[in-house]
Amino acid sequence: MRRRNFIGLAAGVAVANALPRRFALAAESPSSGAASADLPAIGRKGQQLVLRGSDIAALSAGLRGQLLLRGDVGYDVSRRVWNGSFDRYPALVARCVGASDIVQAVNFAREHDLLLAVRGGGHSISGQSVCDGGMQIDLSPMQSVRVDPVARTARVEPGTPLGQFDRETQFFGLATTAGTVSHTGVAGLTLGGGFGRLCRRYALACDNLRAVDIINADGQLRHASAKENVDLFWGVRGGGGNFGVVTSFEFQLHPVDTIMYGGAIGFPGSRMRELMKFYRDFTATASEDMHLDFLIVTVPEGQMIIIDAFHGDRKRAERDLEPLRRLKPIIDEAKAAPYVDLQKSFDVNAPWGSAVYEKAGFVRGISDALIDDIAALMERTKLVGTQVNFVPHGGAVGRVPTTATAFTHRDATHSLLLRSGWNPTDKIAAEVASRWTIENFTALEKHTQGFYVNAIAADDTARRLQSNYGSNYQRLVDVKTKYDPNNLFRRNANIPPKNAA
């Protein structure tokens, strides 16, 4: 049976902005944005500002990249983010091509007390990488990947999508953990943690960081590693974009076969209780090469269950997956395939422009009570485009000590995600679908402890975030206070500095 677009951000939901992207960039002409007129803008704390035309023109003249204003060619390409439910208009977009551009943009935002958003791959689910009325630093022109096959390391620029990173490293038979949708950005994913098909074998993307170059709120470019600016290096591994703009990531790579094994294995939704119990028991003892994403999705005909199966060792894959196949799936697409193709296999279900609302939490084991609650919820759900998802952790993720990086939840066995999707132009559908996720996650939250900061929802509270970082929180506040004392970098899972002005 052919796989369908099961994540089901219902048919036709995608993608006002998907198509023209590459072509629009290619066609871009230099900005007309060296405007001499004054420009109204929004400040760091939401206050109204007026930016002087001469200041804007001076910034524009100093950049190697472009400074774009509303109406300029390329402005819409930058301001659009993956989640089509956010339609925001920054006053200025700095399309940066190098560190000097980023330093100037950060200095401009700080000196003018401007609201600032930083966009790497544009996949912030809560739309943090674009803002109304402030400045957006768009890093998407910066996409180089330099692999050192001998040292098994890679230097990656912050606008690079995961698929480009995978392609470059796999050319040399190498890879490191990257997420499961290839157009997601390396930058945001790594700074918040970074789960993916290889994480049970090689830990999180952030655990494979060897160093970063980062521009902090004072406009200084710093190198942070295990030897230099150690506190900052600790913070960027799980603390998100709180401390500055990362201009370069240095990753540890691993020898990784270019042919692996994987694909979707599907069952009717009527078997969800049985399948969740099987999944719990099966993943508890699974090989670290195996990564099984479990989804219950609502499609027009009802629910279906999709397990995105992945095995990093194709010789053992069929044997290891045999117990799952004995359950007689109605879809079975799992087979040996290039790793770079498997890394793209989910893309069709998450196109640019999808409008979604998501809430997530970590679980320590999937209890019978949680299975009952999810089954009861999904059995009564008719809303197409809703889904419940378990993502497996464990293995190497859990072997890193809790205090080694800012990422805290090493003992979680799975992430639990609730997501709803709708047509971005349909305001009523947006309200209904968001409410589905909020209300039902609230009912399930008692089974969770902490959440993934990269899945933070726009309405998550500071208190939820503080308790999320647990014993690492105070140390994060210290790092934040040192490198961003006035909370310039606030559009993220925000850690407020002490005594911010």
Ligand X SMILES: Cc1cc2nc3c(=O)[nH]c(=O)nc-3n(C[C@H](O)[C@H](O)[C@H](O)COP(=O)(O)OP(=O)(O)OC[C@H]3O[C@@H](n4cnc5c(N)ncnc54)[C@H](O)[C@@H]3O)c2cc1C
Interface residues with ligand X (CB under 6 A)?
81-82, 118-125, 128-129, 139, 158, 179-181, 184-185, 187-189, 191-196, 240-241, 245-246, 350, 454, 491-492
- Give me the residues paired with residue 51 across strands: 39
Q: In the numeric block, which tokens belong to residue 497?
A: 């500095």
Nearest-10 crossing angle of helices 53-62, 99-111: 160
Residue 60 or 343: the one with the smaller Cβ distance to ligand X is 343
The least distance separating ligand X from the CB of residue 240, rounded to whole angstroms, comes to 6
Residue 296 or 375: the one with the smaller Cβ distance to ligand X is 296
Residue 251 or 375: the one with the smaller Cβ distance to ligand X is 251
Residue 35 or 354: the one with the smaller Cβ distance to ligand X is 354
The least distance separating ligand X from the CB of residue 235, rounded to whole angstroms, comes to 11
Residue 23: CB atoms within 10 Å = 10
Residue 14 or 378: the one with the smaller Cβ distance to ligand X is 14
The C-alpha atoms of residue 426 and residue 429 are separated, in whole angstroms, by: 5
The least distance separating ligand X from the CB of residue 377, rounded to whole angstroms, comes to 22
Three-state SS for 240? helix
The least distance separating ligand X from the CB of residue 381, rounded to whole angstroms, comes to 21
The least distance separating ligand X from the CB of residue 380, rounded to whole angstroms, comes to 27
The C-alpha atoms of residue 76 and residue 70 are separated, in whole angstroms, by: 8
The closest alpha carbon to 7, from 422, 445, 428, belongs to: 422
The closest alpha carbon to 183, from 112, 248, 123, 238, belongs to: 123
Residue 35 or 350: the one with the smaller Cβ distance to ligand X is 350
Q: What is the DSSP letter of 182?
A: T
Residue 75 or 195: the one with the smaller Cβ distance to ligand X is 195
DSSP secondary structure letters along 35-94: --S-EEEEBTTS-EEEE-HHHHHHHHHH-SSEEE-TTSTTHHHHH--SSTT-----SEEE
The least distance separating ligand X from the CB of residue 156, rounded to whole angstroms, comes to 10
Residue 90 or 193: the one with the smaller Cβ distance to ligand X is 193
Dihedral angle, C-alpha 269, 273, 279, 284, nearest 10 °: 160
The least distance separating ligand X from the CB of residue 244, rounded to whole angstroms, comes to 6
The C-alpha atoms of residue 17 and residue 10 are separated, in whole angstroms, by: 17
CA-to-CA separations, 153 to 245, 253, 269, 420, in angstroms, rounded: 21, 5, 43, 38
Residue 343 or 440: the one with the smaller Cβ distance to ligand X is 343
The C-alpha atoms of residue 429 and residue 296 are separated, in whole angstroms, by: 20
Residue 66 or 136: the one with the smaller Cβ distance to ligand X is 136
The C-alpha atoms of residue 501 and residue 486 are separated, in whole angstroms, by: 6
The least distance separating ligand X from the CB of residue 260, rounded to whole angstroms, comes to 16
Specify whether the CB–CB gap between 12 and 83 falls below 8 A. Answer: no
Residue 226: CB atoms within 10 Å = 10
Residue 105 or 324: the one with the smaller Cβ distance to ligand X is 105
Residue 227: CB atoms within 10 Å = 9
The C-alpha atoms of residue 163 and residue 148 are separated, in whole angstroms, by: 18
Which stretches of 237-313 are DSSP H helices?
272-284
- For residue 306, what is the enclosing H or E element? strand 302-311
The least distance separating ligand X from the CB of residue 347, rounded to whole angstroms, comes to 8
On the 0-12 / 13-18 / 19+ scale of CB atoms within 10 A, 241 is: buried
The least distance separating ligand X from the CB of residue 157, rounded to whole angstroms, comes to 9
Residue 237 or 491: the one with the smaller Cβ distance to ligand X is 491
Three-state SS for 355? strand
Residue showing the smallest CB distance to ligand X in the complex:
188
The C-alpha atoms of residue 110 and residue 132 are separated, in whole angstroms, by: 17
Residue 168 or 484: the one with the smaller Cβ distance to ligand X is 484
The least distance separating ligand X from the CB of residue 82, rounded to whole angstroms, comes to 5
Could you tell me the end-to-end alpha-carbon distance of the chain, in angstroms, rounded to an integer? 60
The least distance separating ligand X from the CB of residue 494, rounded to whole angstroms, comes to 9
The least distance separating ligand X from the CB of residue 357, rounded to whole angstroms, comes to 12
